[in-house]
Structure formats: structure tokens, C-alpha cells
Amino acid sequence: MELYNLMENEVLNTIDSIQKEVEIKCQCEKCRLDIAAIALNNLSPKYVVTEKGYLYAKVNNMNYQFNTDVITAVTKAIEMVSENPKHD
Ligand SMILES: [Zn+2]
């Protein structure tokens, strides 16, 4: 059994789908994860207890309802990271 924060998946999915509307200046993995970390720190976690393997199927069958809190947090995080990438 393990703990998993469903919000992680929601934030990463939102980053992927929002890219069409909000420009992310740097597309590297570091910036993508920085954006996710900033957004997640501003959102309440959604922890579930899950068995390994089970979660994967569940997450993939979920219908993502992109809620405005997540979109707002991700948009802000994208702006912050685009203005100040944490690398050269
Ligand atoms: Zn980058």
C-alpha cells in the first residue's frame, strides 16, 4: 500500500493541456516540474491510499474535470517560472 496525492496527476495534466493557451518559455523537464511544484504548494493535496498498480488504472480511467483552482495555480506557476527559470 502507498499514499498518493491525486493532485500531482491533476496538476501535470493541467500543465499539458493548458500549454496551448499559456506559453511556457522553456519546455525542459526542470521547468515543467518547477511549475508543478509551485502549483502543488498552492493547492490542497488529495491523498488516497492505494495498492501499487491499482492507481495507474484508476488515474487513466478518470475523467479530468479541470477545476478553476488548479488552472489558476498552474497559470500563476507558469508565469513565475517563465519569468525566472531556475537554470541558465
Ligand atoms: Zn527550463
Phi, psi of 61 (to 5 degrees): -95, 0
Looking at residue 4, what is its pLDDT?
86
Choice between 51 and 26, residue whose per-residue pLDDT is larger:
26
Distance 5 CA to ligand 1 centre (A): 25
Q: Is 24 exposed, middle or buried (0-12, 13-18, 19+ CB in 10 A)?
A: middle
- The share of the chain scoring above pLDDT 90, in percent, equals 48
Looking at residue 37, what is its pLDDT?
98
- The predicted-structure confidence for 39-75, as pLDDT tens digits, reads as follows 999 999 988 888 876 665 555 555 555 578 999 999 9
Distance 37 CA to ligand 1 centre (A): 14
Q: Give mean pLDDT, residues 16-23.
A: 88
Please count the residues of the chain: 88
Distance 19 CA to ligand 1 centre (A): 15
